[in-house]
Amino acid sequence: MKGVAVALLFICTLSLAFPVLAGNDQKYGYVTVENVDITLEKGVANIDIRYSLDEPTRLIVFLLGKQDLKNRILKVLNYDDAEVVTIEMDRANLVVKDVSYNYGRGIYWFPSHQFNVIIPTLKVTTPQITREFFSTNTIPNGIGYFDNP
């Protein structure tokens, strides 16, 4: 009888833990991504990311600095050569040079890319078009574009 009670308690504990373990796919640690805007010009990507921080963490980031936040944003975006231009408590701006392949004569190819979280709204803007993706962690197939003359 004691074994049945222990097993029942274990099952109840697991049923409470699984929703917590599932978590939020838009979240990386204490950072929840809201949207990402990528503007492509020549071979450079200008990336604006908006996010929110868990409330208790905001105070810690404010007091101890933004280095850990910067590292998390870089991990979320998953670009090796990204350079952080500005970082705030709710947004950051980054630049990635040589992100697109240059085929000469103003022709560029922005390859497919994998992010480390689900991004609710992802917008990629080239000089010709704007493409929007919803609830995605990839830019599928890549995007071809031309430089402005």
Please report whether residue 2 resides in a domain: no
List phi, psi (to 5°) of 50. -115, 140
Count of domains forming the chain: 1
Report yes or no on 91 lying in a domain: yes
Which structural domain, as residue segments, surrounds residue 77? 25-146
pLDDT in tens, 58-105: 888 888 899 999 999 999 999 999 999 999 999 999 999 999 999 999
42 band by pLDDT with thresholds 50, 70 and 90 = very high
Distance from C-alpha of 49 to C-alpha of 86, rounded to nearest angstrom: 11
Q: Alpha-carbon distance 28 to 118, whole Å?
A: 10
Classify residue 62: in a domain, yes or no.
yes
Task: Tell me if 87 is assigned to some domain.
Answer: yes
Q: Does a structural domain hold residue 16? A: no
Contact 124, 145 (CB under 8 A): no
pLDDT at 40 over 80: yes
- CA atoms of 16 and 3, how far apart (whole Å): 20
Res 15 pLDDT > 50: no
Residue 6 lies in a domain: no
Please list the residues that pair with 41 across neighbouring strands: 44
- In angstroms, the CA 68 to CA 133 distance is 28
